[in-house]
Amino acid sequence: MKLSVILVNWNTCDLTKQALASIYKETSGIDFEVIVVDNNSADNSVEMIKKEFPQVVLIVNPDNRGFGKANNQGLKIAQGDYLMFLNTDVVVLDSALNKLVNYLDQHADVMLVGPRLLNKDMTFQHACRRMLPNPLNSLFHLFGLTKIFKNNKLVNQYKQYAIDPEITGSTQALSGAAMMFRRQVYAEIGGFDERFFMYGEDLDFCKRVLDKGWKIVYVSDAKIIHFGGQSSGKRRVKSLVNFYEAMWLYYKKHFKYNFLIDLIVWLGIKFRMFLALSINIFKS
């Protein structure tokens, strides 16, 4: 089998139906399977999948095991030479999965590829092609400086606003909403780090790929609409906490500084989390 596509569903029945329909409509000429891992949805997602897409390999969990762990469940049974993580809140456009497969077929030195992700208004999502976070570029990003100084290369190392999205090329990190990789990657570094319940697992995965000396490429002509935050938005406060906890976990795992710098980073993350939660409460 050429490709296994893995989706994790949690109470996104309508979006999951739309995503699956787009996969089957826009993917042809290759032998592929779709695996959906349901994290104990309370809507009728499971029933819908069984009825509308009986060809889907369905795993139904008795509880919400998180994004990373559920994707890893899919990896364990996947049969494809190429493996793909794909969110349920997407619409595949213009044979995007075929284009990613073709790119891997034609570039033996590339191990991980990702598509151009688009907002629902078809504007570019910068998170689909970015640098790995470090204390400096994370500081710029968290405090909104990247949006103010979009053309400053130092400030915009993380989201790379100044780089043309039309250009296919190497990058350090892709979005976990859509990434495809060779089975060799899974065999040698495993799947997502399951300590990341939600958020950060994609950056950690890309970091481990780069640490092996492998190449990651953003493929501009493979286009997928990504609505974003459709599951996390259902539990906004918990999602914010997960986000900032993931940030601290990523820092502890990949950076070794002294106590003072660690304390400054920890305080910065906690302050930004407090600010985000306060804004969320005020808006509510």
Three-state SS annotation for 180-208: EEEHHHHHHHCCCCCCCCCCCHHHHHHHH
- Range name among 158-172, 229-243, 247-261 with the lowest pLDDT average: 229-243
Other CB atoms closer than 10 Å to residue 149's CB: what's the count? Answer: 15
d(C-alpha 240, C-alpha 105), whole Å:
38
Burial code of 53-74, b = ≥16 C-beta within 10 A, e = fewer? beebebbebeebbbbbbbbbbb
Average pLDDT over residues 129-141: 82
In this prediction the pTM is 0.88
The strand ranges marked E within 44-177 are 57-60, 82-86, 90-92, 110-118, 169-170
Residue 142 above 80 pLDDT? no
- 24 falls in which pLDDT band (50, 70, 90)? very high
For 173-230, how does the pLDDT look when each residue is reduced to its tens digit (9 = 90+)? 999 999 999 999 999 999 998 888 878 899 999 999 999 999 999 999 999 999 986 5
Half-sphere exposure of 265 (CA within 13 A, CB side): 22
Amino acid present at 167: I
- In DSSP terms, 92 is beta-bridged to 224
Residue 162 has a pLDDT of 67
> What residues contact residue 256 under an 8 Å CB cut-off, 6+ apart?
none
Residue 284 has a pLDDT of 67
Task: Please tell me which residue, 239 or 159, carries the higher pLDDT value.
Answer: 239
Residue 234 above 60 pLDDT? no
For 29-80, how does the pLDDT look when each residue is reduced to its tens digit (9 = 90+)? 999 999 999 999 999 999 999 999 999 999 999 999 999 999 999 999 999 9
Tokens standing for 96?
Answer: 């995007």
Residue 163 has a pLDDT of 84
- 235 falls in which pLDDT band (50, 70, 90)? low
Cβ proximity of 205 and 196 under 8 Å: no
Residue 151 has a pLDDT of 74
